[in-house]
Amino acid sequence: MADLIENTMEEMEEDTQKGRFLTFLLGNETYGIEIKYVTEIIGIQTITEVPELPDYVKGIINLRGNIIPVMDVRLRFKKEPKEYNDRTCIIVIDINDVSIGLIVDSVSEVITIPEQDIVEPPKMGNGFNNRYIKNIGKVDDDVKLLLDCEKLLTEDELEELNESL
Amino acid sequence: MAGSYNNEPLLEMFVFETTQLLEQLEQIIIANCYEQENINEIFRIMHTIKGSSAMMNFKNISMLTHKIEDLFYFIRDNKPPNIDYSKLSDIMLESIDFIKLEISKIENGNKLDGDSSPIREKVDNFLTIIKDFNYKAEAAEEKTENSAEKAEEDSKIQNDVLSNKKKFKATVFFEEDCELENIRAYTLINDLKTIAEDIYYIPDIEKSDSAEIIRKDGIQIWFKTDISFNDVHSILSKTIFLRNMELIELEESNESNQHINSNIKQFHTDVASSMKDMEQNTHMLSSNQSMISVNVAKLDKLMDLVGELVISETMVTHNSDLEGLKLDNFQKAASQHRKIINELQDIAMSIRMVPLSATFRKMNRIVHDMSKKLSKEVRLEIIGEETEVDKNIIECISDPLMHIVRNSIDHGIEPTEERKAKGKPDVGTIILEAKNVGGDVLIIIKDDGRGLDKRKILDRAKARGLMNRPESELTDKEIYSYIFLPGFSTNENVTEYSGRGVGMDVVAKNIGSIGGTVSVDSIPDKGATITLKIPLTLAIMDGMIVRIGNVSYTIPTLNIKESFKPKENDVIRDPDGNEIIMIRGECYPVLRLNELYKIKTDITSISDGIIVMVESEGKYLCIFVDALVGERQVVVKVLPKYIRNFKKIRGIAGCTLLGDGSISLILDIADLITE
C-alpha cells in the first residue's frame, strides 16, 4: 500500500516535472537539463584536485559533508576553458544515485517546453557536441540544446578507451 | 557498565532476560488473577526460563522451573476446580524469590549453591493434591503417580481424538559444540508436545551419557500429529543449533518399526545455523526491551554524522572570525561541547563493535570437518573471543581466518603416527587468540605442527622467480613471508582444502584491504604462528596532514616512521633518474608527490621541503612534501562513485574533510610503495 502511494506520488512528481528544464549558458549557447535530475544549484567553491583524472573532472567538493565530484562542462565539450567568476555556477545533478556537479558559465531559468516543440537533433554526426544532445527545444525564436545527462556521465569510459587506442 | 561479574554476553543476556521475566511473573502472581491467559503467560515464562537456565547449566533453576511448568501445564489443560490459589501464589512467590536470589549470585560472580528441592517438593505436593482431586472428580479408573510427565501423557490420551493423525519419524542432529545436547533435545521434545502426541525418542535423555549419543547419532523421535508434513518440518527446522534434520512420514501401523516403509518423503536440511541462530536471537531480543537489533546501514549513517559533527565542531570553535577575540565563556562552552561530542563519538563507535566469538566459533566446524577428512586429530583452543572489532572488519576476516586454519591443519599438523614418532601429543592443537594491542586487534593463529619448511619455501621462491635478494641476506621471517605472495604453495599434493597456493595470498590481500597486516613466524617441529594485525575500526584513523602547493594530503600516522628536513646533498640520483636518499647508512627511494600527481608548487628544491619516511610491510619510502600541517583524527570517506568508476587512482585510499571544510586526500602508502 505504502509502495503504491509512493509510486503514484513519484508519478505525480514526474508529471509536474515533465517538460521542465533548467537552462544554463555555456558561451553563447543555451543548454537545457531536465529538472528531475537537478538537486541544487550552488556557487563556485573550492575544488580539491584529484590526480590522474581527465582534465574536465576538476576534482571534488564538500557539499555539506557530502563529497561530490565536479565536471567542467566547457572542457567536457572541448570548448576553451574560461576563468571562473561570481556568475559561475555548479549544478548538482543526481543520476542513478551518482551525484555530480556540473560547472557552467551561468544558470538562466527554469522553462517549460511543450512536447511538440522538442525535436530530434540534426543527424550531422560531425560535431562532438551532438553526442550529448538528446533533443533540441524551441522556445519562441531561441533554440535550447537539451542535454542527455546519462551520456554525459557514462560515455567517459568509452571515450577513454578510444583515446588510448 | 556490565562486566562487573562476567563479560560473557550470553550470561549477561540470561540475567537480563530472566530478571525481566521474573518481574513480569511477580506482577501476575501478586495480582492473584489466574485467568486463562495469565496461566498461559506463566507457563510461557516458566518455559523460557527453564530453557535458558538449562542452556546456561543452572540446574537448580531449570529443575524448579520445570516443575512449575508441569504444574501449570496441568492447570492449563485440565482446569481443575479445586485450586487453592493463595497457596499457589505462596509457592510461586517462594520460587520467584529463589530464582532471584540465584540470579543475584550470578551477577555478583558467586557460586550458585541454592538448593531448590524443598520448593520442588512443595510444587509436587501441590500438583498431587489438585491432580488427585481432579481424577476423583472425573472418576478416573487409576490412581496416578506424582510424576508430572505421566500426567501429561494421561491427559493427552484422554483428549486423543483418533482422527487422521499422521506418524512421523524425525532424526535431529545438533550443531557441533553446541554442548548440552540432551537438554536441547529435551527442549525440542517439549516443543513437540504442543503439536504432537505419542512421542517416543531414543536415546533416553534423562541418562547422563545421552548427550554423547545425541552428539554422535542424533536423537530419533517418533510422534503422531495432525498437522501437515511441511508444517512439522518448518517447526522442527526452527530448533536452535540445528545442524541436520531428517523428517520422514511413516505409514500407518509402523509407529514403532523404525526403518522400513519410510521412503515417502525425505527432507534434508542443511542449515546455515548461524542464520537460524540469529533469527532465534532477534526473536528473543524483540521480547525484551533492553536490546534491539538495528540496521547496519543506520549505524553507518550515524557514524558518518558523528564524523561530520566532529568536523563541524572544529569549524565552529576554530572559526577564523573568532581569531584574536577574547571569549572566555565561549571557550568554556566550546570545551564542554567538545567533550560531549567526543563521548558521542566513542558511543557511536562502540555500537558498531561486535565480539569475534561468532567468527571464531565457525572455525570449530572447519577443524572438526577437516580433521575427520584428513584423519588427523586436531583440537581448537579459543582465547579472547570476546574481543570486539568493527562490524565491517569482522566480515573481512572470516575468510582469511578460514584459510589460515585450513592451512594449519593441512600443512602444519602432522598425521598422528608422525606426531607420535616426534614425541608430541597425539592430538594437534591450534590456538586461536585475539587481543587488543593499542589501537589494533591482534589475531594469532598458532599450531603445534611441523612448522614452515624454510628450504622448501626458498626453493619454491627461486623456482617462481620471487626472490629479489640473495639468500644470505634474507632473515627467516622474510623467507616465511614469501608464502603470502601470489602463486605460492609448498605443498606438493594439492588437497581438497588447501595447496592451490591461493589461500595465503588471499589472506594477505584481504587483510591488507582493511588496513591490516599479516606476519608469520615458525619454529621447525614446534609449529607456526600467523599473526593478523587489524585496526579496530575503518571509519576513523590518525593522520598527518601534509601540504603540496595548495593541496593537502593525509598520510596515515600508522605508516609514518619519521619526518625530517633533508639537506640538498643528501639526495642522489641513480642512472635511471630515480632519487635516492641516504639516511644513517641506508638508502631509501624518494618520491616527490608533486611530480607524481602533477601538482603545482614553488617548492622544488629538496632542502626547502620536508621528507616523510613511511613504511608498509617492511618496505620504506621517503615522500617529499612542501610542509607538514599537523596531526589529526580524520574520518575516512571513499571517493565518489563517479571518480572510482574512472579507475583506481594510484596511492589514494580515500578522502577526508578537514576542520575548515576543505578536503584532503588520504594516501595509500602500501599502494605507493609497491610499484
Beta carbons of B640 and A153 less than 8 Å apart? no
pLDDT 10s digits, B461-474 = 787 777 777 777 77
- Of B423, B414, B427, B422, the residue nearest B381 (C-alpha): B427
* Predicted confidence band of residue A7 (pLDDT cuts 50, 70, 90): low
In chain A, how many H helices and how many E strands?
3, 11
**What pLDDT score was predicted for residue B8?**
64
Nearest Cα of chain B lies from the Cα of A153 at a distance, in angstroms, of: 8
Residue listed under C-alpha cell 541418562: B207
Q: Which of A60, A65, A157 sits opposite B640 (nearest CB)?
A: A60
B598, B640, B649: residue with CB nearest A68: B640
Q: What is the three-class DSSP state of A157?
A: helix
Alpha helices in B352-488 (DSSP H): 357-373, 391-407, 416-421, 454-463, 476-480
Q: Identify the residue among B642, B658, B662 best suited for mutation to test binding to A, counting A beta carbons within 10 A and taking the highest.
A: B642
Question: How far apart, in whole angstroms, are the C-alpha atoms of residue B452 and residue B461?
Answer: 14
Query: How many residues are recorded in chain A?
Result: 165
Do residue A62 and residue B652 have CB atoms under 8 angstroms apart? no
Q: What is the pLDDT of residue A14?
A: 59
Structure-block grid coordinates of residue B645? 568508476
Instruction: Decide if pLDDT at B294 tops 60.
Output: yes
**Confidence at residue A148, expressed as pLDDT on a 0 to 100 scale:** 84
Helix, strand, coil distribution of chain B in percent, nearest 5: 45, 25, 30
For chain A, list the domains and their CATH numbers.
18-164 (2.40.50.180)
Helical pair B357-373 and B391-407, crossing angle rounded to 10 deg:
20
Residue B345 to chain A, least CA–CA distance (Å)? 17
Q: Give A148 to chain B, closest Cα distance, Å.
A: 17
Look at A67 and B637 and tell me if their CB atoms are within 8 Å.
yes
Encode pLDDT of B335-376 as tens digits. Answer: 899 889 888 887 887 787 888 887 887 787 778 778 777 888
| Degrees, nearest 5: CA angle A71-A75-A79 | 150
Does the beta-carbon distance from A68 to B655 stay under 8 Å? Answer: no
pLDDT score, position B451: 84
User: Which of A51-65, B236-250, B596-610 is predicted least confidently?
Assistant: B236-250
Mean pLDDT of chain B: 76
- Count of Cβ atoms closer than 10 Å to residue A10 Cβ: 10
- Express each pLDDT in B366-420 by its tens digit: 787 787 778 888 888 889 888 888 877 887 888 888 888 888 888 888 888 888 8
Residues of chain B positioned with their CB less than 8 A from the CB of A52: 597, 647, 649-650
Identity at B182, one-letter amino acid code = N
pLDDT at B231: 74
Q: Pick the residue from chain B with its C-alpha nearest to A68.
A: B640
First and final C-alpha spacing in chain A: 52
Residue B315: is its pLDDT beyond 60? yes
Identify whether the C-beta of residue A59 lies closer than 8 Å to the C-beta of residue A44. Answer: no
Higher per-residue pLDDT: B33 or A4: B33
What is the pLDDT, as a whole number, of residue B544? 92
pLDDT tens digits for range A89-113:
999 998 877 889 999 999 998 988 8
User: Is B662:A46 a contact under the CB 8 Å cutoff?
Assistant: yes
* pLDDT higher than threshold 50 for residue B613: yes
pLDDT at residue B6 is higher than 60: no
For residue B440, what pLDDT band results from cuts at 50, 70 and 90? confident
Q: Which helix (H) or strand (E) holds B646?
A: helix B641-646
Nearest to A57 among B641, B643, B661 (CB): B643
CA distances from B272 to B33, B65, B69, B176, B285 (A): 43, 31, 32, 13, 20
For residues A149-158, give the mean pLDDT. 68
The C-alpha cell that represents B55 in the structure block = 542452556
Q: What is the mean pLDDT of chain A?
A: 80
Say how far apart CA B642 and CA A153 lie, in whole Å.
Answer: 8
- B634 chain-A contacts, CB cut-off 8 A: none
Of A60, A65, A153, the CB nearest to B308: A65
Type of residue found at B376: K
Pairing of strands B619-625, B627-635: unpaired
Interface test with A, best of B300, B592, B594, B643 (most A CBs within 10 A): B643
- Domains by residue range for chain B, with CATH: 1-148 (1.20.120.160), 160-291 (3.30.70.1110), 296-352 (1.10.287), 355-535 (3.30.565.10), 540-673 (2.40.50.180)
Q: Going along chain A, which residue ranges are E strands?
A: 20-26, 29-34, 38-43, 57-63, 66-72, 89-95, 98-104, 106-112, 118-119, 133-139, 142-147
**pLDDT given at position B665:** 92
Cell reading at B591: 618520491
B489 vs B258, residue with greater confidence? B489
Select the more confidently predicted residue: B552 or B163. Answer: B552
Strands B551-556 and B663-667: parallel
Q: What is the pLDDT of residues B101-113, one digit of tens each?
A: 888 888 777 777 7
pLDDT tens-digit series, residues B139-189: 444 444 444 444 444 444 444 444 456 777 777 777 766 666 677 777 777
- Report helix angle B210-217 to B181-193, nearest 10: 80
B353 touches chain A (CB under 8 A): no
Q: The pTM is what?
A: 0.47
Q: Determine which of A67, A68, A100 to mutate to test the interface with B (most B C-beta atoms within 10 Å).
A: A67
Q: How many CB atoms lie within 10 A of CB A15?
A: 9
Digit-coded pLDDT (tens) for B517-550: 788 888 888 888 998 888 766 666 778 999 998 8
Residue B249: what residue type?
A: E
A22 — pLDDT class (breaks 50, 70, 90): very high
Residue of A52, A60, A157 with shortest CB distance to B650: A52
